[in-house]
Chain A
Amino acid sequence: MKILVCISHVPDTTSKINFTEGDTKFDTNGVQFVINPNDEFGLTRAMWFKEKQGASVDVVNVGGAETEPTLRKALAIGADSAIRVNTPATDGYQVAKELAKVVQDGGYDLVIAGRESIDYNGGMVPGMLAQLIKANFVNNCISLEVDGDNAKAIREIDGGKETLTASLPLVIGGQKGLVEESDLRIPNMRGIMQARKKPLNVVESADTNTKTEAVKFEKPAPKGDVKLVDPENLDELIDLLHNEAKAI
C-alpha cells in the first residue's frame, strides 16, 4: 500500500498572531512552525501501517522552501520520502489541485490529511482532493483500518460516531483518535540523522488558478476585563447571566 500524508506547515499554537503589509499578510517574524497537529495524528497512524502492514509512506507539502524543516521533521518521525510542491499555498482549491497531481503521478492508494489546518482552518483540502481524483472520502476520521483494497473507518459525527466502509483509493480528513496523543512520536537522534539522507523531492507547480483570495486580516476587538463575582454572592452571577449576557 502506498500512503501519502499531507503535511501543513503551521504556526505553533502558542504563536502570537500578527499581520503585516497593511494587514494583508501573516507576520511570520519570530513564529515557530510545526507539523499541523491533525496531520501529525495521521502521520503517526501511517507509521503504524508501515510497521505492521509494510506500507510505504511519503509526505507532501505545498509551499516554499521555508516549509522544508517541517517535512524533514516528518521524515525524522519515519516517513520514507518527502515531496514539496514549489509554490506558495494560497487557497484550499489550489492546494487540492496541486496535491491531486502528486497523488496521480505517484499512484497512491491512501491519502491521509488532517481535517483542517490550525492556521486558516479551512477544512477544504482533503474533500476537494478526493473529489478531484474521484477517490472515496471520509472526514473527521478517528479510526482507520485497511485490509487489502478495503478500508473501515470511523467518523466522528455530532453526538456520536459512524462506522463506514469504502474501497481504496481513499482520502481521509483525520484528527485525534486515529492515534492517541500518547502515541505521537518525538524524533530521536537516529531518526533526525536518517532524515537528512532521505529524499526530499521538489516538484514544480501544476500551474493552478485559485478561486478565493484572502484580501485582509483583522484581529478581534480587545476583550473587556472579566467581571468577578464573589463566591458568597452567586445570585449576582445568575442575575448577570440572565439580564446582562442574556445567556440563561
Chain B
Amino acid sequence: MSVLVYIESEEGKFKKASYEVASYAKAIAEKMGTSVTAIAFNAGEVSELGKYGVDKVLKVNNDKLNNFNAEAYSDAIKQAAEKEGSKVVVLSQSANSKYLAPLLAVQLEAGYASNVVALPESTDPFTVKRTAFTNKAFNFTKISTDVKVIGLSKNAFGLKESQADAAAEDFSPSLSDEDFSVNVESVDKATDKVTIADAEVVVSGGRGLKGPENWTMIEEMADILGAATACSKPVSDMGWRPHSEHVGQTGKPVASNLYIAVGISGAIQHLAGINAAKTKVVINNDPEAPFFKAADYGVVGDAFEVVPKLNEKLKEFKEKNA
C-alpha cells in the first residue's frame, strides 16, 4: 500500500529533485495513512532519503541499467509498485521521468497526471492541480483509476524534512531483452556545467546583446551565481548560442528559483516557457518591453553598463555571504 517514489540519481548521487519528490510522496503517504517506499537504480548510499520521509529503499543494482532506459526502468518500477501494492507512484518531471511515466502508466493501467504543482486536493476522489496552457492556467484533474501516477513539477512543493529509516533492500526485477530494444549508442553530456533542468538560477540573454561575442558577461554572471546559461529563441536560431540553451515554448522549460533575463523583450512564447520560474528579473533598455509585465524586478538600462556593474556587486555579495 506504500506510496512508491522513483528516485533519480546521477553517478550514484541523488538530485535535489529526488528529495523534492520524496518529500511530496511522504506528504501523500501521511494523507493516506501509509509509508513511503523509494526505488533507486545503481545508487550508492541511500540513508539520506530518510531525512525526507522515505521508510524503505528498493535498490536495483544492475550494470545493464547504467544508462537510463525508459522501457527497462519503467518495467522495474512497475514490478516494484506491484510488489509494494502501491496505489500512488510519484516521479519528477525531468526529461527521463517524463519519458518513462506514460509507459509506466499503461503498464500499471494507471491514470497519469503530469505537471502537478500541489498536494492532492482530495485523495477520494483523487484530484490534483496541474499547470496547463503552458503555465497560463491550472487544471484540476480527477484520476479515476485504482493506481495513480503523479509527475511533480520542479520547485512546486519544495523540500520537507522528516525522520524515517530509509532501510535499504535489494530488489532484482526480472527484465527481458525486449526491455532493451532501444539501445543507447552514446551519451554526450557536459559534466562541468549546471544544466537548465537542475539549476537554481538561470541567466539568459537575448537579441539585445547584439552578438555572440558579448556573452562573456552573461557567463560571468552565471559563474558568480552558480547558474545555468540560457537564451531566447532568436539567439539560438541565429546560431549565437547552441539550441540546447533555447528556453521557451518550443525550447526547454525553466522552473528555477531565479531567472535573470538580459536583453530579452519577452515574446509570449518566451514567457510561456519561463513562467514557472519563481522570481524573474529583467534588464532591458526598452521600458515598453513586454517582459516588464511578467517580471518581479526590473532594471531599465543598457545591459552593457548594468550587467558588468551588477556582476561586481554580486561578486562582493557572494564573497560576504560565502
Chain A residues with a Cβ under 8 A of chain B? 11, 13-14, 17, 19, 37-38, 41, 91-93, 96, 118-128, 130-132, 136-140, 142, 152, 155-167, 173, 175-177, 180-182, 210-220, 223-224, 226-231, 234-235, 237-238, 240-242, 245, 247-248
Interface pair A226/B139, CB less than 8 Å apart? no
Name A215's contact: one of B109, B141, B184, B314 (CB within 8 Å). Answer: B141
Is there contact, CB below 8 Å, between B111 and A247?
Answer: no
Q: Mark B74-105, 1 if CB is under 8 A from A, else 0.
A: 00000000000000000000111011111101
| Count of chain B residues near A, Cβ 8 A | 93
CB pair A234 B299 closer than 8 Å = yes
Whether B113 pairs with A212 at a CB distance below 8 angstroms is yes
* From B114, B269, B279, B282, contact of A241 by CB (8 A): B279
Report if A177-B243 is in contact (Cβ < 8 Å); known contacts: A13-B249, A158-B198. yes
Q: Which B residues are in CB contact (< 8 Å) with A96? A: 102, 106
Report which B residues bind A (CB closer than 8 A).
Answer: 67-68, 70-71, 94-96, 98-103, 105-107, 109-115, 127, 129, 131-145, 181-190, 193, 195-198, 201, 225, 233, 237, 243-244, 246, 249-251, 257-258, 268-269, 272, 278-279, 281-282, 292-302, 305-306, 309-310, 313-314, 317, 321
Alpha-carbon distance between A122 and B275 when the two chains are bound, in angstroms: 17
| Nearest residue, chain B, Cβ from A125 | B102
The secondary structure that dominates the A interface is mixed
The prevalent SS among residues of B at the interface is mixed
CB distance from A232 to the nearest CB of B (A): 9
A-B contact pairs, 6 of them (CB 8 A): A41-B250, A211-B110, A213-B144, A217-B137, A224-B296, A242-B321
Instruction: Say yes or no: B140 contacts A227, CB within 8 Å.
Output: no
Instruction: Please state if B182 and A234 are interface contacts (CB–CB under 8 Å).
Output: no
A-B contact count (CB 8 A): 263
Let me know if B140 and A217 touch, CB within 8 A. Answer: yes
Q: For residue A149, give the distance in angstroms from its CB to the closest CB of chain B.
A: 12
- What is the bound-complex CA distance between A122 and B188, given in angstroms? 27
Asked if B112 and A212 sit within 8 Å, CB to CB, the answer is yes
Tell me which residues across on chain B come within 8 A of A156, comparing CB atoms.
95, 244
* B311, chain A: closest CB distance, angstroms: 10
Q: How far is the CB of A33 from chain B (nearest CB, A)?
A: 13
* Partner among B114, B258, B294 whose Cβ is within 8 Å of the Cβ of A123: B114
**B300 neighbours in A (Cβ, 8 Å):** 228, 231
Q: Is the CB of A160 within 8 A of B99?
A: no
Q: Is the Cβ of A226 less than 8 Å from the Cβ of B292? A: yes
Q: Could you tell me if B188 and A161 are in contact, using CB atoms closer than 8 angstroms?
A: yes
Kindly name the residue among A128, A165, A242, A247 whose own CB sees the greatest number of chain B CB atoms within 10 A. Answer: A247
Are B138 and A247 in contact, with the CB atoms below 8 A? no
